[in-house]
Chains A and B, each alone.
Chain A
Amino acid sequence: MLGQVLVSGILVGGIYALVAVGLNIVFGVLRIINFAHGEYLMMSMYGAYWLWRMGIDPYLAAFLVVPAMALFGALSERYLVRYTLAAHAHVKIFVTLGLSIALQNLALLLFKADYLNVRTSYQTSTLDLAGFAFSVPRLVAFGALLVTAASLYAFLRYTDFGKAIRATAQDATTARLMGIDVERVYMVTFAIGAAVVGVTGCLLIPIYYVFPTVGIDFVVVAFVVVVLGGLGSIPGAIAGGLLIGIVEQFSGFFVETSLRQVVYFLIFIAVLAVRPAGLFGQRGAEEIGLK
């Protein structure tokens, strides 16, 4: 019984980690708080949902949703976030908040507040491994997490463009002196972050309902996970996601589901108060770009 709870904790955690990895590249690495990140997820899920209505399997829909989201991410950087980069702190915070509110309400206007879900053959199937039941769509999501996280990690660590992203986050002016096209870095990073969210949306739609404010629930957990794991750290995001998933499934025994978010928030607050660098973050690195 406890083993099964652990299994479902890990699988749920995998989903949280996946959302967090997408957030981590923009918030953790680039240090831009994009409040609309959750709405990117909402859009991806609606995209996968409507493609399913048109007869396309959600997993195949990723081939359309991911490029579309990458484009949307790039556009929202180019035509919105860019104007805030050199602006006062309040402009930075509230512009993406405005975008988030606008997108949520646009979805409400277009799709009403209904909870929508897809129906697939594999939706409820489970795999029996070592005596535990693994839900197939969650297992797929977990596999995608590992692949996405590993490629992002390698990309950030070993490629020149990945290094350029990290350099830009640490000191944009000096990055420019290295010959880095800083504007391009910002735009591409947003595109990558949104593309990861696009993948996530397609993997989530066989598991969860989509509705206009679905992004909020996930983005809240994602912020907690990123801070817990350490800003900018991909292994941290995975560890943080799994930890939160496991804590959530076990705490389901003790506290009611309606109090679940209180647990997240308290973890979030405790980490920031005690160790702002998070579990895997470099000490002091949490202040990058903020002094």
Chain B
Amino acid sequence: MSINFWLDLLILTCIWAGVAGAWNLLAGFAGQFSLGHAAFFGIGAYTPPLLAQALGVATWFGIAAGAALAAALALVIAGVSLRTRWPFFTLITIAFAEVVRILAVYFKGITKGSEGLMLELEPGFANYFYLDKWPYLLLAAIYAAGVIWLCAVIRRSRLGFRLLSVREDEDAARSLGVPVFMARANATMISAALAAMGGSIFGLYTKFVDPDSTLSFLLSVQPALITIVGGLGHALGPLLGAALVIPIEHLLRSWFGGVLFGLHGLIFGLALIAVLLVLPDGLVGGLRRRRGRQVRHA
């Protein structure tokens, strides 16, 4: 297979490792299971080209604006779900993401609707627009490493400590004076901004943004699947998960995608169930348990 095939695989693995890392920050650390990260991802993907079109600003501004916009939406989500408990947070995130998707399809004048946007920007660093794949690998790798590093830092910070206490027992945390809402809102906003950056890179790389490839519900499931496969709540889980899931998906799609419609999704669903039942704490958890057992044997 050509070098481009492998580059493509690597770039997507890095992007998804980063987005999954962002999801893990919220789900793994704070115990808040979002199924709406497609909204953040999509906002990230749409904002740079739309801003470039409208105002002619460079991509970097667009990426920052997309992250800010996603964080603002996250704040609204956190505010709305203030009075509810975990499964409702999940349902609320689904609702918000669907609203964003439907609006993106509806406002054709701005987004071109389901037809999608082709990205045609001035090549160069200011727009990070290249015909070659290598610069995108660099950017995606920096992004993934940055997210994972940030998650590791947050985990050891005061915010991380608060998030874990909220995850373990929200009521106890509240009665001990942990500012539950603030901690949750911060985590949701950081997670959203990071996911949006992943969406921006994805859009720049594919040079095409449409609701199906950046806003669909399956894109909200994707970071969850990756993280759960890798290891929920472990900083390295998303990377491991992406390194396994993305290549497998790629292969499945290239084998069956055109021929047997649905087989790819069927395997996706069954794999999700199998992983959850067999390895509920993912690869990282599985490896740790294994090591623990060996130590005890010795």
Contact = CB atoms under 8 A, between A and B. Distances in A.
B262 A262 contact: no
Size bracket of the B interface: 35 or more
A51 to B, nearest CB: 23
Interface string A96-131: 011111111111111011000000000000000000
Interface stretch (A66-74, A83-91, A191-199): A83-91
Interface in A46-95: 80, 83-84, 87-95
B283 to A, nearest CB: 15
A268 interface: yes
A276 B89 CA distance: 12
A269 B85 contact: no
Interface string B67-85: 0000000000001111111
B120 to A, nearest CB: 28
Contact of B95 (A100, A269, A287): A269
B266 A105 contact: yes
A95 B218 CA distance: 15
Contacts of A178: none
Nearest to A273: B80
Size bracket of the A interface: 35 or more
**Interface-central residue, A80, A110, A256, A276, by most chain B CB under 10 Å:** A276
Nearest to B274: A98
A38 interface: no
A90 B262 contact: no
**Interface-central residue, A97, A223, A259, A276, by most chain B CB under 10 Å:** A97
30 contacts: A33-B87, A33-B90, A83-B277, A87-B280, A88-B280, A90-B33, A90-B232, A91-B277, A94-B228, A94-B276, A98-B272, A101-B218, A101-B272, A102-B265, A102-B269, A103-B269, A104-B269, A105-B263, A105-B264, A105-B269, A107-B262, A109-B263, A109-B266, A212-B262, A261-B102, A262-B103, A265-B96, A266-B99, A269-B80, A287-B85
Interface of B: 27, 31, 33, 35, 79-88, 90-92, 95-96, 98-99, 102-103, 105-106, 171, 218, 221, 224-225, 228, 232, 260-266, 268-273, 276-277, 280
